[in-house]
Amino acid sequence: MADLFNPTEEHLALRAMVREFAEHDVEPQACRSDREERFNVELFRKLGELGLLGITVDERFGGSGMDAVAAVIAHEELSAVDPGLTLSYLAHAMLFVNNLAQNGNDEQRARLLPAACSGAAIGGMCMSEPGAGTDVLGMGTTARRVDGGYRITGAKMWITNGAINDTDLGDVFLVYAKTGDDGARGLSLFLVEKGMEGFRLGQKIKDKLGMRASTTAELVFEEVLVPERNLVGQEGSAVRSMMRNLELERLTLAAMSLGIARRCIEVMNRYASERHSFGKPLRAFGQIQRHIAESYAEWMAGRAYVYQVAGALRLDSYGNRIDSDGVKLYCSTMAKNVADRAIQVLGGYGYVGEYNVERLWRDAKLLEIGGGTNEAHQKNMTRDLAGVPILR
């Protein structure tokens, strides 16, 4: 029987490499980066040396040429030790690098992807705004055609990798903006690069509940002149690009949930053997048994769902929203619940940082919000399932 989670030897080797790197290099700095709200840029760039920043990109442009399963493996393994750093990885490798690889032209790919795949340039994607999140078509950022290109005006909010520290922008972003008033056909996608006049950091968002090792920022666009060559795809075609990339984004966010849940299960399982109460190990008590057993079963159910969807997903396809939303809907809440149970099993020790589960619990909450709220997934899935009266 084929291994659902490691379908080829290449996938198995990838998992071993990422897990070793995560445990040896990422784990030791995770708590400190969370405490200091610091994006570890130097460590992030090492992901480029491992071929992870361009994991789904054609080798012609500096990538590793792997598939959606490989992307899931990388996110699952990294998130088990540092979800904050992994979120920055996702924003770069999925929301910028894969997005441009799938939706850009060869000139744009050749110009920008090699540096992004190596880690020399740090990228992100700009969709949400101060007054528009799930309601994408309600965004206010506009791109007005002028001689030589477009003038972009507006602001974007909650942008991962928008800043790499308190004062410095990331290097390059894919920015969604309105080029017309014709609903979905009025939305276009642009490449905006650091140094373009009028493009600046509004603020780095501080004091977040979780994902504190990942920077989040407001970005401001004041009549930013973007050359014609930085239009991605055709004017008015951005919704299809958006939907294609959202599917992979939500799949990899679900993979992050898997990593969080796995780590929490490992921690509470060990603790339940080591800690004794009333002369018995904690795992001898029914209340603890329920926490561990239900957590494992829910994690495995989510893991099977995620890898089944990943194995069937073509990176250049779209129209898979029922299950790309479904895996994130299920796994995000599953991970938060598993982390909550781990805290309960550890009692006071779970409430402090020593065993990491409180940090994982804080990080897990974002996955019910970012990349699409659970309520948005419920709406999308129910709408799409209306066309599937018989499930096979």
Spatial CA neighbour of 140 closest among 16, 131, 149:
131
Structure tokens at 235: 């004017």
Cross-strand partners of 277: 280
Length of the chain counted residue by residue: 392
- Bridge-based pairing of strands 216-227 and 199-204 is antiparallel
Query: String of b and e for 330-339 (b: at least 16 CB within 10 Å)?
Result: bbbbbbbbbb
Cβ atoms of 120 and 62 within 8 Å: the answer is no
Which residues are identified as catalytic? 249
DSSP 3-state assignment of 122? coil
Burial label for 314, CB within 10 Å (0-12, 13-18, 19+), is: exposed
Structure tokens at 82: 């540092």
Backbone angles phi and psi of 178, in degrees to 5: -80, 130
Structure tokens at 302: 């989510």
Count CB neighbours of 118 within 10 A. 16
Cβ atoms of 119 and 44 within 8 Å: the answer is yes
Structure tokens at 30: 């995770």
Structure tokens at 225: 């002149």
Spatial CA neighbour of 71 closest among 100, 51, 44:
51
Cβ atoms of 176 and 139 within 8 Å: the answer is yes
